[in-house]
Every structure is written in structure tokens, then in C-alpha cells.
Amino acid sequence: MGTVISIHAFGAAIRLRGGQLGVAPADDVQKREGAYRRALRDRRPRRFAAVTHEGRPVFRLIEDEETLQPTGEGVPTLVDPDLERKIAEYLKQTQEWELPDRPPAFERHLKRKSKRAEHFPERS
């Protein structure tokens, strides 16, 4: 059992149950990149098979039914009525800040900036 802690060009780094670090070879990570990315995102312990690859011990992810099931966590909420209401209230407040007899603040800013720029020679 272990947890994928990073995916990189040389494979993946795995923290094993006992605290030791292990590696998954790049070819295994490339073949099953989706499974490794899910394992990295979920940060749940997964099963790994210890094998020898080019004379050194490496670990390959064993996919079982649990690891293939998508998790419900991390799914974004596209519409949040409470947030929309807060944004609308904030925008109403900012409208109240504007002075009715003067141009909006961004226009005043651009005019001041243009006047300041006239005092400096143009660089070419």
C-alpha cells in the first residue's frame, strides 16, 4: 500500500505505508497516466506491486474496482446562488460609491494618466 506524492518525467514518487519512498517507472505511469493522476489527486492509499525493473525495485499501480470508481469529491459547483447574490450586492454598493455629477472613477483615472503622459517625451 502506498500514496502517490508526485508525478514527474522519470515516473512517480510513492510514499509507502511504512514511510519509505518508492518509485513507479515512467513507462507504467505513461501507460496508466489517468489512474496515477487520480491517485495523486485523491491522496488515498493504493495497492502497488513490487517488481524489479532494470535491476532495481520499483512499484506498479494495481488497479482494482475501488480505484477505477470516480470520487464525488472535487466536482466543481457551476452555479452558486449565494455567491451570485453576494456579487450582485457588492456591485450595487460600488455603484453607490460613484458621484452622480462626475464621470466614473476609471474614466477620471484614464484622463489623469493621459495628461501626465503629455509631459513626457515619447520614446522610440
Give the C-alpha separation, 71 to 102, whole Å. 54
SS3 103: coil
The CATH architecture of the domain made up of 2-68 is Beta Barrel (2.40)
Identify the residue with better confidence: 26 or 95: 26
Closest listed residue to residue 63, CA positions, set 32, 20, 27: 32
Give pLDDT tens digits for 46-100.
888 888 877 788 888 887 555 455 555 555 556 778 888 999 999 888 877 777 7
* Average pLDDT of span 33-53: 85
What are the domain boundaries of the chain?
Answer: 2-68, 81-118
